[in-house]
Amino acid sequence: MAWRIEISEAAVRDLKSFDPLIRKRIDKFLSTRIPLFGDPRSLGTALQGSMSGFWRYRVGDYRILCRLVDESQTIYVRRIAHRSQVYR
């Protein structure tokens, strides 16, 4: 079974605020890059501290913050932002 990606409304708003070229790059990453790998953890990095439980994917200067749920094999995208803003 392949991993399913669900994007929160906040992440959709973040995505709409970006330049179309950046939006296309992030969309391509989410739709093609992640499904190619059997384990999405191989592409991302686990966060620590107050953001423990979240995973980060890097797309250029932008970061995609997600929660991974193994039982349902779902990636919940919570936030997409520039690296200077995403952890605030």
Range of the domain at 10: 4-82
Answer whether residue 88 is part of any domain.
Answer: no
Answer whether residue 57 is part of any domain.
Answer: yes
In tens, the pLDDT along 38-56 reads 789 999 999 999 999 999 9
Number of domains in the chain: 1
pLDDT in the model for residue 78: 97
pLDDT in the model for residue 39: 86
Answer whether residue 66 is part of any domain.
Answer: yes
Answer whether residue 23 is part of any domain.
Answer: yes
**Percent of the chain whose predicted confidence (pLDDT) is above 70:** 99
Answer whether residue 87 is part of any domain.
Answer: no
CATH number at residue 75: 3.30.2310.20
59: phi then psi, degrees, rounded to nearest 5: -130, 95
